[in-house]
Amino acid sequence: MQVGEARAIVTGAARGLGRHFTLALLREGARVAAGDVNGAGLRGLKAEAAALPGALTVATLDVADEASVAAFVELAARALGGELNLLLNNAGVLRDGLLVAWEDGAARKLPLTQWNKVIDVNLTGQFLMAREVAAKMIESGTRGVIVNISSLARAGNRGQSSYAASKAGLDACTRTWALELAAHGIRVGGVAPGVIDTPILGDVSATALQSLLAGIPVGKLGTSEEVWEAVKFVLTCDFFTGRTVEVDGGASMG
């Protein structure tokens, strides 16, 4: 598939990587339905995209809510002329915390609500989006691509039990869905970014940032554009499916 031919859904589109992916698609003439729980961010995205050659539809979307997902996919299909051929499964949240932390002489346990929030958005939400979009593709006889945005943390990372579990689970789904959907002309691939220079790093201290950089062999943060280049490869290479591309500056080799 060529990028300009995409009739795409992008989740988590209001900021960070999702916003970059949306704008990159629009620059190449794609038609995009962008969803996020952040309505103000979506309005800003729409204003930023106004001069680009592609066509953009925005609507609020909670990927962890089955009814919200179904309604959004229906809206997107109508807005994109009844044809969907790309899902960028990007929405995600962080709720970091140690499994058990020893503080002030007491054990503080990771709350179940905190665990569930991450799994609901990062794994169940990706499943719901993939299920609904794949069904639309199959019903319309459209060949398409699903790209799941994973993470370097999928291998496990201190303080990220829920996040690591969600991304490892998503990788397993990437392989599973690729096997299941190939017969319908649908490819499924993943992209696993490392430490990327996005607004979320504004919450990271200078000391912590230096520690992160020390673990990256290329000695720099990744950029959203570098992650997009990997997404673009998955999208455009018709012989690629069932694997996750690591874009982490070599950090996963350590």
Kindly list the catalytic residues: 163
Closest among 64, 56, 135 to 93, alpha carbons compared: 64
Closest among 102, 100, 118 to 110, alpha carbons compared: 100
Burial of 192-225, coded b for 16+ CB within 10 Å and e otherwise, reads bbbbbebeeeeeeeeeeeeeeeeebeeeebbebe
**Strand runs labelled E in the chain:** 7-11, 31-36, 55-60, 86-89, 100-103, 106-109, 144-149, 186-193, 244-247
Burial class (CB in 10 A: 0-12, 13-18, 19+), 113: exposed
